[in-house]
Amino acid sequence: MIPWHGDALYRFSRAASVSSDSSGERPLATSSESREILTRTPSPRGVSFDLSVADSGTGKRKVGERASGLLAATQLTLDPSTGTVPCSPMRAQLRADLADLSFPLLTTIARGESWTDSVSNEACVSGIPGTAQTRRQFLVMGDTTFGSMAAVIVERRDSVSLSGDGALDRHAITLAAHGAGGARIYISVPEGKVLRLERELLLKIDVTSGSRTRTFVQNSTSVAELDR
């Protein structure tokens, strides 16, 4: 691999549904789309990444929320959030997208090769701030083409745990979640640029307030595709 550097524009589409353990409640479904600019910059310390929202019309970088981090060896460290809002859904989404697009690559990549990494990330669930720990396993499935570009397919398996606490309607709330998911990633050769990433995640979330605990199940999918 000859890692790329500079800017890349991605289109994201997402869908999620949340169901509860109450039989009378209907699942809540949401969806969203965005365009985001990823900047990759190699440095002596590792590889720096920066992700920000792009204008839907021009594709240029917008001023506002952003996420950044450093990939050193197999550890991705995301920079602490800044801003006055303690739990910003937009900032949390950008950080999750950045983690998806930022991962270590082997110098030579061939069918059957595998590696692991880990990510610690801030989370925001229904306005409650928390921390998500993710361990990821990568496996090279083989060569392919994506459009007119040579590529390899990499399968990723994720194991996620999340915890958080806050307040809702003046009541103390504690979150605890565990889940699993994965992604199918198309990576260009030899640049190592993500051409398309298809991700899914299933989370079981326990929400405790006082002596009562309710359980929710969140099923989410997302697709990121290189625009240019």
- Tell me: cis bond preceding 190? Omega within 30 of 0 counts: yes
- The model's confidence at residue 228, banded by pLDDT at 50, 70 and 90, is confident
- For residues 10-14, give the mean pLDDT: 96
Q: What per-residue confidence (pLDDT) applies to 36?
A: 96
- The per-residue pLDDT for range 182-219, each reduced to its tens digit, is 999 999 999 999 999 999 999 999 999 888 999 999 99
- CA-closest candidate to residue 125, choices 205, 20, 31: 205
- The per-residue pLDDT for range 117-132, each reduced to its tens digit, is 988 888 888 778 889 9
- pTM to 2 decimal places: 0.90
Tally of CB atoms within 10 A around 154: 23
- Kindly give the pairing relationship between strand 6-20 and strand 28-43: antiparallel
Helix (H, G, I), strand (E, B) or coil at 94: helix
Q: What per-residue confidence (pLDDT) applies to 21?
A: 79
Q: What per-residue confidence (pLDDT) applies to 159?
A: 97
Phi, psi (rounded to 5 degrees) for 32: -160, 160
Phi, psi (rounded to 5 degrees) for 76: -95, 120
- CA-closest candidate to residue 87, choices 55, 132, 53, 119: 132
* E strand segments, the chain: 6-20, 28-43, 46-54, 61-72, 75-78, 114-125, 128-146, 149-168, 171-188, 194-209, 212-226
- What is the average pLDDT score of the chain? 90
Concatenated DSSP letters for 189-222?
Answer: TTT--EEEEEEEEEEEEEEEETTEEEEEEEEEEE
Q: What per-residue confidence (pLDDT) applies to 193?
A: 94
Q: Please answer whether residues 120 and 91 qualify as being in contact, where contact means their C-beta atoms are separated by less than 8 angstroms.
A: no
- For residues 46-74, give the mean pLDDT: 87
Lowest mean pLDDT among 128-132, 152-156, 220-224: 128-132
> With pLDDT > 70 as the criterion, what percentage of the chain qualifies?
97
